[in-house]
Structure 1
Amino acid sequence: MNTEWALNQLQDFISATEVHHVRAPSGVISVGTYKTAESEVEVVKKAQIVEQILNRAIPGWRSLEVDTRRKKWALHHEVALRAKESLLRQEELQKNLGENAPEISAAKLHPWVWNGASSLWQSGHYRSAVEDAAKKVNAETQNKVGRRDVSEKNLFQEAFSTDAPITGKSRLRRMTNDGSDTYRSVQRGAMALAEGIYSGIRNPFNHEDPKDIDEQVALEYLAALSVLARWVDEAIVEATP
């Protein structure tokens, strides 16, 4: 998240939703009404963006209890104040409440992986997001080597094989074939990683109880897929003349 941008958006919204009391006209028996600093139209526009920031900064914020009987935007206003303070002091919070360890951003994984997973991930369907990411990596690999007759584990075994290419079976080379142990090692490593992913992650999804998986587990699965996707993407295709 771009913290500086988010803070500016939050402050703009906080200012827009400050309320003041409007007294009832003379002769009218009423306690009056409350009015936001900016018009309802402008507040609604800002809320569209701010709600997405709040979803990131304070998950589950809509369930917080705030007195909104007389102030329509009271919940948004209070949560925006909380989110602003949280973002301003996030470094302090991380140092004092938990390990200041590096974090993985799913959005920064290889594009094949995140493009395949993002839609379902955003809606909380983590297992399905991983499945779609695995399908996307498989499809992109098929495209790169021009194959449709083989997929998943077998596809990667043939693509990263150290055998010479033959008609209809192009190979992927992670480095120049210089006949060294290193060359054979990186090719074998790519095959092993792909087999682990498709045999140990993707395939069990087809046979296990279709319950969802934990977000952290899903993120780790996506990270593994991202490594494989990057290796495929950066590999050189070797085909028959």
Structure 2
Amino acid sequence: MAIPIADIAWARAELARFLELTTLYHPPDPPGVAFITSRMSNRGEQKDIAASAQVVEQILDRVLPRWRTEVPDSRVNRWCRHREAAQRADAVLERDTEIRARLGDDAPDLNAAAMHPWAWEGARPLWQSGHFREAVTAAARKVNAETQNKLDRKDVSETRLFQQAFSQDAPKAGQPRLRLMQDDGSDTYRSVHRGAAAFAEGFFAAIRNPNSHADGLPDLPQHEALEQLAALSVLARWVAAAAVVTV
């Protein structure tokens, strides 16, 4: 799977700058004083390192989502974990560039950040900590809640909510409908709304429900979770774009 960064050259340059700023060295002892310590200092100014780290951490979250827990920390210097993670991430990005160059892989990238905000923002915190199955579940809750908000309905949720929202029946008191196009009596109108309701039912039955009852199961591979998130993004865009029709 392609690395979810649009400009790899820029990302590698940011990592290189951070590594340069955080280069480690043993500061000389003051004249006439000898310290025995394993701690090391950085070549760059701490304010410059901190500013660079703000960008680098976001790169690391994309390339190595589990870096905060998988890369060991060290008491030698506060930036040791960041340095090792940056070195690992740079190696990953370098290999991705090499693979693309040698294999001519020009397939389009699936970028979670370009998905509908309801899907990605719901998933982001857990996704960036490497909990992919839980991230999809959280995103599903977010899309469900936003749909309830749009329809002003808290009495139903998930499958029933979307079945009623995309129902081709006329709206009722307390049951507004979502319309993806005007009712022109065509087969397309009926097909679009029947399909949207079926799509939502399929997502919650085959993806959201198993994910939310997956205690003890291994986490989803990232690429599978990304595919599931993309399916949810489609549903979110339909809901966001639909007109609300009331009695």
TM-score by length of 1: 0.77
What letter matches 1:226 in structure 2? S
Q: Pairwise mapping of residues 111-190 of structure 1 onto structure 2 (< 5 A)? A: 111-190=117-196
- Change in Cα spacing, 1:93 to 1:64, as seen in structure 2 (3 Å) is farther
Q: Which runs of 5+ in 1 are unaligned?
A: none
- Change in Cα spacing, 1:123 to 1:73, as seen in structure 2 (3 Å) is closer
Distance in 2 separating the partners of 1:96 and 1:175: 46
Distance in 2 separating the partners of 1:3 and 1:69: 31
- Change in Cα spacing, 1:212 to 1:77, as seen in structure 2 (3 Å) is closer
Q: Pairwise mapping of residues 79-90 of structure 1 onto structure 2 (< 5 A)? A: 80=86, 83-84=89-90, 87=93, 90=96
Distance in 1 separating the partners of 2:65 and 2:98: 20
Cα deviation, residue 83, structure 1: 4.8
Percent sequence identity is 50
From 194, 212, 224, the counterpart of 2:231: 224
SS of corresponding position for 2:178: strand
- Change in Cα spacing, 1:132 to 1:73, as seen in structure 2 (3 Å) is closer
Cα deviation, residue 125, structure 1: 1.7
Distance in 1 separating the partners of 2:111 and 2:158: 25
Distance in 2 separating the partners of 1:158 and 1:88: 49
Cα deviation, residue 119, structure 1: 1.1
Q: Cα deviation per residue 1:37-66 (whole Å; 9 max; x = unaligned)?
A: 32355435534543443454466778789x
Q: Cα deviation per residue 1:172-210 (whole Å; 9 max; x = unaligned)?
A: 111110000000000100011011011112223455545
CA contact (8 A) 2:62 2:128 kept: no
Q: Which runs of 5+ in 2 are unaligned?
A: none
From 232, 237, 246, the counterpart of 1:239: 246
- Change in Cα spacing, 1:232 to 1:87, as seen in structure 2 (3 Å) is same
CA contact (8 A) 1:174 1:234 kept: yes
Q: Cα deviation per residue 1:128-174 (whole Å; 9 max; x = unaligned)?
A: 21111111111111122222222111111111111111211111111
CA contact (8 A) 1:21 1:34 kept: yes
Q: In the alignment, is residue 38 of structure 1 matched against residue 44 of structure 2?
A: yes
| Structure possessing the higher radius of gyration over alpha carbons | 1
CA contact (8 A) 2:71 2:84 kept: no
Distance in 2 separating the partners of 1:208 and 1:27: 63
Distance in 2 separating the partners of 1:135 and 1:59: 22
Distance in 1 separating the partners of 2:137 and 2:87: 38
CA contact (8 A) 2:65 2:127 kept: no
- Change in Cα spacing, 1:17 to 1:188, as seen in structure 2 (3 Å) is same
1:15 aligned residue: 20
From 188, 196, 204, the counterpart of 1:198: 204
Count of equivalent residues: 238
SS of corresponding position for 1:147: coil
Greater RCO between the two (CA within 8 Å, min separation 6)? Answer: 2
TM-score by length of 2: 0.76
What letter matches 2:236 in structure 1? A
- Change in Cα spacing, 1:78 to 1:160, as seen in structure 2 (3 Å) is closer
